Structure 1
Amino acid sequence: LSGHTSTVWSVAFAPDGRTLASAGNDKTVRLWDVTDPSTPHSLNQPLTGHTNQVHSVAFSPDGRTLASGCADRRVRLWDVTDRSAPHPLGKPLTGHTDPALAVAFSPDGRTLASAGANNDRTVRLWDVTDPSAPHPLGKPLTGHTDSVWSVAFTPD
């Protein structure tokens, strides 16, 4: 797949397996139709709004929301219900003091976790029950002594 103009940091498949999201050093997120793996193609113009390299992407379990974590210290949510016309949801999630390196949705899709780099070293939890009005859940999880590169939820 070509389209990003620099390093690709992360990819994620939508739950239906027909859409792939990619996060790039070029400050964009791209969506790809991979229904036919022999002829994958871009679904739209790149998703823009981040001001630095995008490190991570994750689809919600229902496939309607995409999260992206960026070196601009923000996490963004995107409505990808209509893959041909994705758009931002709400305001960017702020709180990380250094790059947001990773994002992950809980299995029920109600919580998003994000991980911070460098001096931030936190994991933040966000209530995304209403993805257009997300908000923090409690205080950041602390205790790491270096960047947090990945987050995940148990299946239950």
Structure 2
Amino acid sequence: MDRFVDDGSLEDSFESFLSDDDADPRGRVARRSDVSSGFTFSEVGVIPASSSEVECCHFSADGKTLATGGHDRNAVLWCTEPLAVKSTLEEHSQWITDVRFSPSMSRLATSSADKTVRVWDVDNPGYSLRTFTGHSTTVMSLDFHPAKEDLLCSCDSNSEIRYWSFKNGCCVGVSRGGATQMRFQPRLGRMLAAAGDTLVSIIDVETACCTLKLLGHKNLVNSLCWDSSGEYLASVSDDSVRVWAVGSSSKGECLYELPCSGNKFQTCVFHPTYPSLLVIGCYETLELWNMSENKTMTLHAHDKLVSSLAASSSTGMVASASHDKCVKLWK
């Protein structure tokens, strides 16, 4: 595998990294026509986001607001242009594990080690609109359904998944399978991907039944992310990253695998402009992986672990959150 390191002269490296014959031989995930030789990826902003470790970040649908959260127990909303604090959400009593914007409404959801899920009005975030209780341990992750505005899900460290109705303010279903992270399929929301132990479960949202189990990771799956089409899913353990075909006509085939050859992997996100490119967060570095060419490029990004990544298709930006207390913006 070709590997490039940030040596101060990245222009030629990037051109080689996204070469003219960059095409998926199976016609999946991306084609060279989507990738320009003018590709760049550089730091465009730094946010001193917290007095403690930052664990999570997420862009609003329009990319104009970034939410962050972590060990200081606060979620913070940031304007991305110009970079400035919009508001601070202070009701959780323990560290915040995940933050997610609704794709269709002006709402933000936060999960915490205090066993609760809270939902906020982004335009009037003085207090939470809803507080959901019922989990018996740390709530590790949560997400809004992309089409059903009333529905959101959360999972805890005991692998319990809870389905919540915002309108009714109550739990409307319980299943199992997610212990570290869970994400709804974009746009349609027919599937819920849930990471637990060394596997990823694909759950039918209508029936709450597991329809696929993605097996192959040897270590705990730390995080996962969908591509924008909802046809492909990436999953990350500290020793490997895998990309799966999980769309309506797929059976969970592993299309690509990147073994760890240095820094342990922690998180990932599909690049918002180049769908054949996966951005992987590691200890101090970002790994750019051109899946169809099987090439990687390593960039120094933070002084400690990169704990979370987010991408905005509206602005083309990627955000990286870190235990070094900062969040950086890349484009």
Q: TM-score range by the shorter chain?
A: 0.7 to 0.9
Instruction: Give how far 1:134 is off.
Output: 2.1
- The CA deviation string for residues 98-139 of structure 1, in whole angstroms up to 9 with x for no partner, is 10010100112221010101xx320111112x3xx421112x
What TM-score do you get using the length of structure 2 for normalisation? 0.40
- The CA deviation string for residues 32-85 of structure 1, in whole angstroms up to 9 with x for no partner, is 00024xxx11112x2111110000000011241100000000001111124xx5
Amino acid paired to 1:5: S
SS in 2 for 1:98: coil
Q: What 5-or-longer segments of structure 1 have no aligned partner?
A: none
Identity of aligned residues (%): 29
Indicate the structure (1 or 2) with the bigger Cα radius of gyration: 2
Counterpart of 2:182 in structure 1 is 151
Partners in 2 of 1:60 and 1:78 — Cα distance? Answer: 10
Aligned length: 140
Partners in 2 of 1:24 and 1:42 — Cα distance? Answer: 16
> Which residue, out of 79, 89, 92, partners 2:129?
89
Write the mapping of 1:1-150 to structure 2, written as runs, cut at 5 A: 1-36=47-82, 40-44=83-87, 46-82=88-124, 85-90=125-130, 92-108=131-147, 109-117=149-157, 120-128=158-166, 130=167, 133-138=168-173, 140-142=174-176, 144=177, 148-150=179-181
SS in 1 for 2:134: coil
Q: CA RMSD in A?
A: 1.5
Moved over 6 A (4+): none
Partners in 2 of 1:153 and 1:124 — Cα distance? Answer: 13
**Alignment check: 8 A CA contact 2:94 2:114 kept:** yes
SS in 2 for 1:57: strand
Partners in 2 of 1:3 and 1:35 — Cα distance? Answer: 15
What TM-score do you get using the length of structure 1 for normalisation? 0.83
Q: Choose between structure 1 and 2: higher strand proportion.
A: 2
